[in-house]
A and B are shown apart, each in its own frame.
Chain A
């Protein structure tokens, strides 16, 4: 992608394409991924609430998983999960 010149910048550098940040797959930064042990999961949703990326999703059966396109592997979900259902595994 070629960078814009100063003349090509929109006035005030307004980003007029909503949700364009989703094109940036921050999951590529990840060195560890969260994995859920659904036998221990009580479906409390604390992982969903705490995920700073908003990439934890609830599946139809009520358990949780991370969208690995955006999960940076920060481990907050695993830290907060008090039944210890989430483990961080090396990529």
Chain B
């Protein structure tokens, strides 16, 4: 077991990636991701890791470069935020269709406009359907652990898909906090060398990203969907192995005092730990409150989420993004659709909060519970509300 050390989380993520024998990284700096790019380029420049750091002129180029490198058989890494991720968008489905196990750290930040550099999930949500495995973390330790696990998951022969690890910008990336950093030896033991499914090599030429018309397109989409769905099995295996090696266990859906809870809240990302404190406050007042934390966004863990929430009377889904003119928050829409065929299910409420970095203290979480519990006539069930918006 490693020693507990203190470090800024973004720097620690770069350190963790540096333990993974990456062959190349192409990262374009953007707040709040920049410290990852800067520190990784330091590690390369100082000769601490043997990798190419490709300086690119945009995030579109960064993603293009890692696609090319991964196609050539390199273990490739990139990182971005917000507008950078939006600029990568065009290439994200190509990376997954070509089944390239690229790993990306996303320091989640609000998408413009108006220009805002702070944290929410409006950057990752538009990438939902790009065929990437998408995982969320709630503290620095998880950011480090999942950044390492991502390579093993992505490169597993039954997966071969890109993985993005979502790390809340500022709230996590700019926080100096304690965690255990695995040693190089431990990571070497955990992470086998990358064996690509095919490589671009002059000695054995192949074509990647070939044209496909209507006669094959449907089959290709079906194959990609199945690959993403079946990746869950591998992710669970990797998490089991991690727990054995490092003593820290991960689940697609984590719960806190949820077993006997009448009213549950669901969070994703760094809000989980603060919400946990609200649960403790409510429990002290005699309210049977509990928390469900969604770690795995894609593939979506249907069974685990159903099991976690079905027994509650009410469920508050919190979202840090909105589908404008649609059903509310994207997580809310997902949970509703997951539960619509279940006979036993809670009444579901939705609060959209923490947009563009707006702080959500413990009292706000308590307030959400109190508001939902006060809705005795169930008038607000199935609707969404912008928490704390000035009317």
A16 interface contact, C-beta 8 A: yes
Task: Name the contact of A11 in the complex, choosing from B99, B205, B207, B222 (C-beta under 8 A).
Answer: B99
Q: Is B198 an interface residue (CB 8 A)?
A: yes
B100 — which chain A residues lie within 8 A by C-beta? Answer: 12
Question: In the complex, what's the smallest C-beta–C-beta distance from A4 to chain B, in angstroms?
Answer: 7
Contacts of B198 in A (CB 8 A): 10-12, 14, 16
State the CA gap A6–B197 with chains docked (Å).
Answer: 17
Identity of the chain A residue whose Cβ is nearest the Cβ of B158 in the assembled complex: A11
Taking CB atoms, residues of chain B closer than 8 Å to A39 are none
Q: Which of B160, B205, B216, B219 has the most CB of A within 10 A?
A: B219
**CB contact list, A1-41 vs B, under 8 A:** 3-7, 9-16, 18-19
What number of A residues sit within 8 Å (CB to CB) of B? 15
CB atoms of B210 and A13 under 8 A apart? yes
Residue contact A12 to B205, C-beta cutoff 8 Å: no
Evaluate whether A12 and B97 lie within 8 angstroms (CB atoms) in the complex, with A3-B216, A18-B206 already known.
yes
B197 to chain A, nearest CB (A): 4
- The 8 Å CB contact of A12, one of B160, B216, B222, B226, is B160
Contacting residue for B206 out of A3, A4, A7, A15, CB 8 A:
A15
Q: How far is the CA of A50 from the CA of B218 in the complex (A)?
A: 37
Size class of the contact patch on chain B:
20 to 34
List the A residue with the shortest CB-CB distance to B95.
A12
Kindly state the separation between the CA atoms of A4 and B220 in the bound complex, as whole angstroms: 10
Instruction: Give Cα A13–Cα B206 distance, bound, in whole angstroms.
Output: 10
* Bound CA–CA A12/B100 (angstroms): 8
Q: Is chain B's interface secondary structure helix, strand, loop, or mixed overall?
A: loop
Q: Mark B120-146, 1 if CB is under 8 A from A, else 0.
A: 000000000000000000000000000
A4/B219 contact (C-beta < 8 A), A14-B197, A14-B207, A16-B206 known: yes
- CB neighbours (8 Å) of B307 from chain A are none
Complex interface bits, B195-233 against A, C-beta within 8 A gives 1, otherwise 0: 001100000111110101001101110110010000000
When distances are taken between beta carbons in the complex, the residues of chain B under 8 Å from A11 are 99, 160, 197-198
Q: Is B191 on the interface with A (CB-CB < 8 A)?
A: no
Q: Is B44 an interface residue (CB 8 A)?
A: no
Asked whether, in the complex, the Cβ of B226 is within 8 Å of the Cβ of A14, the reply is: no
Contact A6/B223 with A11-B99, A12-B97, A15-B210 known, Cβ cut-off 8 Å: yes
List B contacts of A15 (CB < 8 A). Answer: 206-208, 210
- Per-residue contact bits, chain A 43-64, to B (CB 8 Å; 1 contact, 0 not): 0000000000000000000000
Which A residues lie within 8 Å of B176 (CB)? none
- Scan residues 347-370 of chain B and give those whose CB is less than 8 A from a CB of chain A: none
- For residue B175, CB closer than 8 A to chain A, the reply is no
Cβ–Cβ contact B219 & A12, under 8 A = no
Query: Is A12's CB under 8 angstroms from B99's CB?
Result: yes
- Answer yes or no: B238 CB below 8 A from chain A CBs: no
How far in angstroms is the closest Cβ of chain B from A65?
A: 27
Question: Does B339 sit at the interface, judged by CB under 8 A?
Answer: no
Closest CB in chain B relative to A17 CB, distance in Å = 8
* A48 CB, nearest partner CB in chain B, Å: 24
A18 and B97 contact, Cβ closer than 8 Å, known pairs A11-B160, A12-B197: no
Q: By the criterion CB–CB under 8 Å, are B215 and A12 in contact?
A: no
* A14 nearest in chain B by CB position: B198
Question: How far is B232's CA from A23's CA once the two chains are assembled, in angstroms?
Answer: 40
Selected from A5, A12, A18, A19, the residue in CB contact (under 8 A) with B208 is: A12
* Residue B98 lies at the interface, judged by CB distance under 8 Å to chain A: yes
Q: How far is the CA of A4 from the CA of B197 in the complex (A)?
A: 19
- Give the distance in Å from the alpha carbon of A6 to the alpha carbon of B210 in the complex: 16
Min CB gap A21→B, angstroms: 9
Whether B98 lies near A12 (C-beta < 8 A) is: yes
* B206 and A14 contacting across the interface, CB-CB below 8 Å: yes
Q: How far in angstroms is the closest Cβ of chain B from A20? A: 8
Interface residues of B (CB under 8 A from A): 97-100, 160, 197-198, 204-208, 210, 212, 215-216, 218-220, 222-223, 226
> Which residues of A approach B to under 8 Å, CB–CB?
3-7, 9-16, 18-19
Closest 10 CB pairs of A and B: A12-B99, A15-B207, A18-B205, A6-B219, A6-B222, A14-B198, A11-B197, A6-B223, A12-B98, A16-B206
Q: List 22 A-B contacts (CB under 8 A).
A: A3-B219, A4-B216, A6-B219, A6-B223, A7-B223, A9-B219, A9-B220, A9-B223, A11-B99, A12-B99, A12-B198, A12-B208, A13-B212, A13-B216, A14-B98, A14-B208, A15-B207, A15-B210, A16-B198, A18-B206, A18-B207, A19-B205
